[in-house]
Amino acid sequence: MALRTLSSVPARAGGALPAVATAASSSARSVSSSAPRQTEAEHDQHRVRVAPNTAASNGSHKVEHKTAAAGGHSKRTLPSFSMDGKVCVVTGAGRGLGNEMARTLVQSGANELVVLDLVEEQAAAAAKEIEESFVSQGLAPPGEITAVGIGCDVANEESVKAAFQRIKDLFGRVDALVTAAGIVHNYTAEEYPTEKIRQLMDINVMGTWFCALEASKLMPNGGSIILIGSMSGSIVNIPQPQTPYNFSKSAVRHMGRSLAVEWAKRDIRVNVISPGYMCTALTKAVLATNPILDSAWHSAIPVGRMGDPADLGGAVVYLASDASRYTTGSEIVIDGGYTAV
Ligand SMILES: NC(=O)c1ccc[n+]([C@@H]2O[C@H](COP(=O)([O-])OP(=O)(O)OC[C@H]3O[C@@H](n4cnc5c(N)ncnc54)[C@H](O)[C@@H]3O)[C@@H](O)[C@H]2O)c1
């Protein structure tokens, strides 16, 4: 049985979501179809004014770290959930949801981890911090965990190839890949600069593609690839406009299904995790200055709260481990019931 298995204690937060400046809006996701039609002027009163900028964090947000693993759980845990002996790579793991998922894989027994992110120093610092947090809490002896940070622009094919060559040199193979690197902008369709759409597609779609492809080459005996989509790949968020983000995540969802079929005979499983609104450092900051957006989001989530990044942990471990060996081409939506409405 693995020394470390996922316990249900929340670990670490961080992340990004829309930067939206609201005028006045009481709209949540569902609008009654029996409501009388509004005039354009009436409608304008409720229109959301959007600051056209990138919602990805610039890294200046300080994240409060809760206890990283809060103790192992050793009593009869299904062995197939253990990540013991598996080499894991997580893109966008310098912060936010990717960082949380990387930590969770270690918490569940992985000793070899690659934190892949845009800036090498930040990736290395995040990897070191993960290693040290397990040692300092007495959850792993010094030297047991090898976490390595690698700088890589997932949108650049050559950069991705070079990063995976380094992973091959270091560990020889990849057993599990999580593709969390991604960005979101908020512009209306009419105001969206084309080069920004291309940038978003290059990161969210092509970045996912390049990483999945390179990781698959290091999976001669099979492996698990987990693409991070979003509920935005199947529904339209309101009030913030983000059409290209939404269609980029639709592409990721279908990429997952298509690769799953193509690679099934190679024993490489490909699945998608689609989070809803997750409460990360950046979303907290965005909502603190947008009380209307705050109430619009919260009133549309059946469970009445945004997700904690740790709420993704069980699905990540399930899909990355042998517990899900017959699961491929699937999507796990983790959204507090948002898309069920
Ligand atoms: N936060 C949410 O509520 C939410 C909801 C649904 C889906 N998602 C998805 O989850 C993923 C992570 O989101 P987050 O909220 O943690 O965002 P974040 O901005 O906190 O983290 C994203 C990470 O990706 C990295 N990154 C960005 N561009 C990159 C590039 N070109 N190459 C390599 N790394 C790059 C960033 O440096 C950062 O570390 C994204 O794909 C996002 O679309 C987030």
Decide: 178 in ligand 1 pocket, CB within 6 A: no
The structure's pTM equals 0.85
Confidence tier at 156 by pLDDT (50, 70, 90): very high
In a domain, 320, yes or no: yes
The reply to whether 258 belongs to the active site is no
Higher pLDDT, 39 or 322: 322
Query: How many structural domains does the chain have?
Result: 1
Please pick, among 25, 230, 274, 321, the residue that the annotation labels catalytic.
230
Does residue 185 contact residue 244 with C-beta atoms inside 8 Å? yes
In a domain, 104, yes or no: yes
Decide: 98 in ligand 1 pocket, CB within 6 A: yes
Q: Output b/e per residue, 231-270; b: 16+ Cβ within 10 A.
A: bbbbbebbbbbbebbbbbbbbbbebbbebbeebeeeebbb
Q: Can you tell me the distance from the alpha carbon of 323 to that of 319, in angstroms, rounded to the nearest whole number?
A: 7
Please pick, among 82, 133, 216, 249, the residue that the annotation labels catalytic.
249
Is the model's pLDDT at 262 over the cut of 50?
yes
- Nearest atom in ligand 1 to the alpha carbon of residue 179 is 41
Does residue 292 contact residue 46 with C-beta atoms inside 8 Å? no
**Domain CATH number, residue 155:** 3.40.50.720
6: Cα separation from own chain's centroid = 18
Ligand 1 mean position to 105 CA, how many Å? Answer: 18
- CA distances in angstroms from 141 to 103, 125, 146, listed in the order given: 16, 19, 11
Is the model's pLDDT at 178 over the cut of 80?
yes
- 3 state DSSP class of 12: strand
Decide: 56 in ligand 1 pocket, CB within 6 A: yes
Confidence tier at 6 by pLDDT (50, 70, 90): low
For a mutational test of ligand 1's pocket, the pick from 53, 62, 97, i.e. the residue with the most ligand atoms closer than 8 A to its C-beta, is 97
Decide: 106 in ligand 1 pocket, CB within 6 A: no
CA-based torsion, 51, 57, 58, 62: positive or negative: positive
pLDDT of 38 reads 44
The reply to whether 245 belongs to the active site is yes
pLDDT of 290 reads 80
Give the pLDDT mean for 247-253: 98
The reply to whether 249 belongs to the active site is yes
Is the model's pLDDT at 236 over the cut of 50?
yes
Decide: 117 in ligand 1 pocket, CB within 6 A: yes
Is the model's pLDDT at 59 over the cut of 50?
no
For a mutational test of ligand 1's pocket, the pick from 58, 99, 116, 117, i.e. the residue with the most ligand atoms closer than 8 A to its C-beta, is 117
Is the model's pLDDT at 11 over the cut of 80?
no
Is the model's pLDDT at 206 over the cut of 90?
yes
Higher pLDDT, 294 or 267: 267
pLDDT of 41 reads 52
Top-confidence range, 38-42, 66-70, 323-327: 323-327
Confidence tier at 295 by pLDDT (50, 70, 90): confident
Ligand 1 mean position to 61 CA, how many Å? Answer: 14
In a domain, 134, yes or no: yes
- CA distances in angstroms from 266 to 28, 41, 58, 263, 280, listed in the order given: 44, 58, 39, 5, 36
Decide: 321 in ligand 1 pocket, CB within 6 A: no
In a domain, 324, yes or no: yes
In a domain, 18, yes or no: no
pLDDT of 297 reads 86
pLDDT of 334 reads 98
In a domain, 12, yes or no: no
Among protein residues, the one with the nearest Cα to ligand 1's atom 11 is 180
In a domain, 48, yes or no: no
Confidence tier at 172 by pLDDT (50, 70, 90): very high
Nearest to 114 by CA among 170, 182, 181: 170
Amino acid type, 15: G
The percent of residues in the chain predicted with pLDDT above 70, rounded, is: 78
Is the model's pLDDT at 24 over the cut of 70?
no
Question: What average pLDDT is seen over the chain?
Answer: 84
Give the pLDDT mean for 142-161: 98
Decide: 57 in ligand 1 pocket, CB within 6 A: yes
pLDDT of 73 reads 65
Decide: 94 in ligand 1 pocket, CB within 6 A: yes
The percent of residues in the chain predicted with pLDDT above 90, rounded, is: 70
In a domain, 292, yes or no: no
Does residue 96 contact residue 117 with C-beta atoms inside 8 Å? no
Q: Can you tell me the distance from the alpha carbon of 106 to that of 178, in angstroms, rounded to the nearest whole number?
A: 13
Decide: 154 in ligand 1 pocket, CB within 6 A: yes
CB atoms closer than 10 angstroms to residue 146: 15
Strands (DSSP E) contained in 101-183 are 112-117, 146-151, 176-179
Task: State how beta strands 185-186 and 53-54 pair.
Answer: antiparallel
Amino acid type, 302: P
pLDDT of 72 reads 65
For a mutational test of ligand 1's pocket, the pick from 115, 150, 179, 183, i.e. the residue with the most ligand atoms closer than 8 A to its C-beta, is 183
- Nearest atom in ligand 1 to the alpha carbon of residue 278 is 3
Give the pLDDT mean for 115-144: 98
Is the model's pLDDT at 42 over the cut of 60?
no
Confidence tier at 302 by pLDDT (50, 70, 90): very high
Ligand 1 mean position to 244 CA, how many Å? Answer: 15
Ligand 1 mean position to 77 CA, how many Å? Answer: 31
Query: Burial, 121: exposed, middle or buried (Cβ in 10 Å; 0-12, 13-18, 19+)?
Result: exposed
For 30, half-sphere exposure in the C-beta direction (CA atoms, 13 angstrom radius) is 12
Residue 87's domain comprises 76-275+307-334
Confidence tier at 128 by pLDDT (50, 70, 90): very high
Decide: 309 in ligand 1 pocket, CB within 6 A: no
Higher pLDDT, 79 or 289: 79
